[in-house]
Amino acid sequence: MWLDQPRNPNAPLAGLKVLELARVLAGPWAGQILSDLGADVIKVESPEGDGTRLWGPPWVEHEGERSAAYYHATNRGKRSVVANFKNPDDLARVRALAESADVVLENFKTGTLAKFGLDYEVLSEANPGLVYCSITGFGQTGPRAHEAGYDFVIQGMSGFMALTGEPQGQPMKMGVSISDLSCGLYSVIGIQAALAMRERTGRGQHVDMALLDCSVGLLASQALHFLTTGTNPPRMGNEHAQVSAYGVFPVADGEVVLAPANDGLFRRLLKLLGRDDLLTETRFASNEARLANRAELDALIASETSKWQMDELLADCAEDGIPAGPINAIDQVFADRQVLARGMRVDLDGIPGVRSPFTFSEAELALDRPSPRKGRDG
């Protein structure tokens, strides 16, 4: 079954065999990345199928099946087989697939797959080289290990929402399911690290990934703000806690992002805006001073940028090396000349998608087939 549809032999993970026992987002997202990198990913679905097949509209009609666009965002390049874990024959088939796999990727609640003999301890006895990645809300250990984890809840628990939104407004979730997506990305890193270690030891291992861990891991400088001061970093909307002037500013036909993140870039911006007179002002002479006078400075810059047309200001900023950009709607993103030049959109058998953002000098991605119809491969 693994070899009936060869992938691109020059893809980085060509020949890697992945069994995906995952649904919804974090697990399938990791599986799709591995598939784009050339792995043979076989997705095992229940008779009802991955629930995201029904998360529409919008809908996609393909191979005589109507499924949600959401499903197609995370399952490109895989194969699909249907298995009922309560059916002994189906269960034996899944175990056989695991015996020949390099990787098992699963996102069931902690302990669930042990009931069916599909846990790492059992599968690794027959396949000692197996890398088995579990994705859960809270991990395999700790007081919440058996609780279900959902992206929105994790965004709240991890501190993301406390950091996102206007200072006086309601805490906000991000516009994408960042906890699920980042956990999928970290899971791919963990899987590849375990595979690299297998080259040295000859043995696989269990990779325990948690949405909460991954989200806390992304707090980065905001975490260090708390860990070094003992105080919570404030919610700042579009402002930057450590840099000024840095934010969203008005132009005559919309708004732009300006990010002059050091003294040199700030001086260039003032010259471009015709406010050289501010260069000698002590209250704006250093980043620390600019932070202390942020409101006054932002108002001065806004009064100047509002006189410009967006395209003119952005073009002049680009020429002067000042970081700046538009605030694009999604249709503008996919019309952007840089996004077009990088080939981020892909179309496979009439189904559009967004490729994994890897570009190699000596390899290609395996972008050879769209998401599978449920049970297409058995």
Please tell me the distance from the alpha carbon of residue 131 to that of residue 149, in angstroms, as a whole number.
23
Please tell me the distance from the alpha carbon of residue 76 to that of residue 196, in angstroms, as a whole number.
25
Q: 258 Cβ partners below 8 Å, 6+ apart?
A: 245, 246, 247, 248, 249, 269, 301, 305, 317, 322, 323, 324
* Structure token digits, residue 198: 């297998």
Q: Residue for token digits 């990645």?
A: 133
82-134 pLDDT, tens per residue? Answer: 999 999 999 999 999 999 999 999 999 999 999 999 999 999 999 999 999 99
CB 345 within 8 A of CB 335: no
User: Half-sphere exposure of 23 toward its Cβ, with a 13 Å CA cutoff?
Assistant: 17
CB 369 within 8 A of CB 77: yes
Strand partners, 325: 257
Residues of the chain with pLDDT under 50: 1-3
* Structure token digits, residue 158: 């991890």
Domains of the chain by start residue, with CATH: 17-219+346-354 (3.40.50.10540), 247-331 (3.30.1540.10)
pLDDT value, residue 238: 87
CB 135 within 8 A of CB 105: yes
User: Of these residues, 40, 102, 180, 298, which one is catalytic?
Assistant: 180
Do the bridges between strand 206-210 and strand 131-136 make them parallel or antiparallel, or are there none, so unpaired?
Answer: parallel
Annotated active-site residue 40? The verdict is: no
Nearest to 53 by CA among 377, 280, 372: 372
pLDDT value, residue 3: 44
Q: Number of helices (H) and strands (E) in the chain: give both, helices first.
A: 15, 13
Angle between helices 178-201 and 151-158 (to 10 degrees): 90
State CA 310 to chain mean position distance.
Answer: 30
SS3 183: helix
**First CA to last CA across the chain, in angstroms?**
9
Residue type, 197: M
CB 110 within 8 A of CB 145: yes
